[in-house]
Amino acid sequence: MSEQYIDIETTAEIVKKILPKMGEYKVPITPQNYRVWYEYYSGTNKELTHEIDSLIREKRPFTHELNRYLYTKYFGDDHNKEILREVQSKTINVLKNFLEQVLATTSSTSHYGDKLEKYSEQLNRAQDLGEIQGILEEMIRETSNMVESTRDLQSKLKEASTQVEMLRKELAKTAEEAKRDALTGLRNRRAFDEELAKLLKSYREKGEIFSLIMVDIDHFKRFNDRFGHKVGDKVLQIVANTLNYTLKGKDFVGRYGGEEFVVLLPRTSLENACVVGEQIRENVSEKRLRVTKTGENLGTITVSVGVSQVNENDTAESVIERADRALYLAKNSGRNNVKSEKDL
């Protein structure tokens, strides 16, 4: 929650409002949802308050997907904040040591010194990894220009440029790893949210359609309960590898959470996306799970698939919700099949 101080009486009033209102909007009382609505009533997060007010005015139902989206957007990036602080610290240390050398030289470097101080201030204010990466790239360009024009500082500037370039590469690697699922190697939920936002923006600005496929492993709990979590993890990896094998080019493949996977297909109609969904289903159903040492057959892996296509009234949540509803229709229709929003 926000670290802004709220007195005990105010907190008590907030608590009195939260639970009845969550009940009114049928929001499950989980720690994550409670945190969202506490911040809403405390008024300390203006952006969150504005977004929930808009949702209430539009009479949008607070679905599971919407609740998870709100929590992830406003509170779910703690890991990336830790990465941000670490990269800030390393970068500022390089700047501090180098600034002492630069500012102690002749006045010809004063302009460059002013710029480095500006970069140091920007780094302290940076809010995300992408912003830091942009600052580092600008520093590299500025340093290269300085190397060309100032012979006296060539060796020192070259050394600093190398250090900053190493930090930039480390940052790029760390940012990429932060968007990968550790078990399957696929993109994670955060990466999916970002890609979906890009496709929505492209659709609104250029009219470029896209489709979403949600894939859920049938009877996944059975694998975990009967054979243990190692086998369950292997099932997840097999499905992830099959998705990678089936999909190519600019298609986005990610792990949505648990035994659910997501696919984003740019410039793809609902009909063609259903064809892709059927290919995924068929390719997975061909997989047989066996114990390597004994050859014991542990069963067939199958998946259920739901498909939606963006339309002019869509938000990120509504595209997901239709695909999710189609997915559950597929599961309720016997599993191991594909359903689209047309079947709803």
| Residues identified as active-site | 259
Structure tokens at 80: 């990336």
Q: For residue 129, which phi and psi values (nearest 5 degrees)?
A: -65, -40
Structure tokens at 159: 């050394």
The number of beta carbons lying within 10 Å of the beta carbon of residue 253 is 21
Q: Which residue, 253, 223, 217, is CA-closest to 331? A: 217
Q: Which residue, 196, 216, 198, 186, is CA-closest to 318? A: 196
The 8-class DSSP code of residue 151 comes to: G
Half-sphere exposure of 284 (CA within 13 A, CB side): 30
- Give the amino acid at 240: A
The 8-class DSSP code of residue 186 comes to: S
Beta bridge partners of 303: 217
Burial 69-105 (b: 16+ CB within 10 A, else e): bbbeebebeeebeebbeebbeebeebbeebbeebeee
Compute the C-alpha angle 278/280/286, nearest 5°. Answer: 105
Structure tokens at 108: 């010809």
First to last CA, the chain: 39
